[in-house]
Structure 1
Amino acid sequence: MALMSAQFPELGCLYASGAVMFLEPLAFPRAPRFIQIVNRDTAMSLNDMHAYRSTGGSHWLTISNVFASRPQDVVVYDSLYHDVSPSTKALLRQLYFLHGNTQVRFERVHKQTDGTSCGRWAIAFAFDLALGLNPRDAAYDVARMGGHLLAALESSQVTPFPRRR
């Protein structure tokens, strides 16, 4: 998140992903565009910390309004699930004081085929969004995702994740 924030200072949110569990509900992002990687099993408040990961593990996904119909709407990019879960809705309520007219939309994206790579996928979605690319249209080269992420961190450059040819 820090890498994207440095390269794209005009984007909103980009909070350290591990810190989101400690945030009180935020007013809707002030920036016209925002991106945030979140963990769908994050506790909903400090009082709920005992429940952290009680649902059988954690899962990373990306939320944004970059390709939403309206700036106040939220699009969910999830590499594993096929709809917005109650856990994700609760997390969205926690993070973004959702106003009555806010719409949450689930975007169909390329899916992971294992149970452990969701973090790489969430970062790939976030990188694409920051670069103005819609993750809906991406067919990532899964074998090259890890190496690409390492190179991006070493070079401090956000670049599109490799696509399948």
Structure 2
Amino acid sequence: MLGTLAAVPVGERPELLAEPVAKAVAGLPGILVAEIDPELADTAAFCEAYASPPEFSANCVVVSGKREGQVRFAACLVLATTRADVNGVVKRRLDVRKASFAPMDLAVELTGMEYGGITPLGLPADWPLLVAPEVAAAEAVVIGSGIRGSKLAVPGALLAGLPGAEVVENLAR
């Protein structure tokens, strides 16, 4: 799954995590971390450089929409070989007229994570985490660590069981 990378239990390398991620993973079992070149953090580049199959990677995207003047946020976790149905499933789940990817600077500010490393672990507590069934069913997936310089391998069931997480049918296309 992590291809050519040497992964260790996350507790052994806390410096490879953004602060909110380190707090969120404390005490959680089965999470591995591997250091990577930050220039290779984007999924396609990572998979190619480290021989990690894309079907074992998941992307976390931050989505927002407005309703009655209030901005609503959610995070979506889908396999890297798919895309989140932002203007269908996500829009209906957020109950907004139009949903779109949150602006990069705002997503970074609100999560306390680096762009390209945003992960479902350590997100703001009031955000729903929408998880594709394929991610939830995976033995493990490769996701960001909150920084661009590492990746995590996390069991799908653990991700689906995070606070605020819900497995959403047809989330991924």
Band of TM-score, shorter chain: under 0.3
Higher relative contact order structure (alpha carbons within 8 Å, sequence separation ≥ 6)? 2
Which structure features the higher share of strand residues?
2
Question: TM-score scaled to structure 2, two decimals?
Answer: 0.26
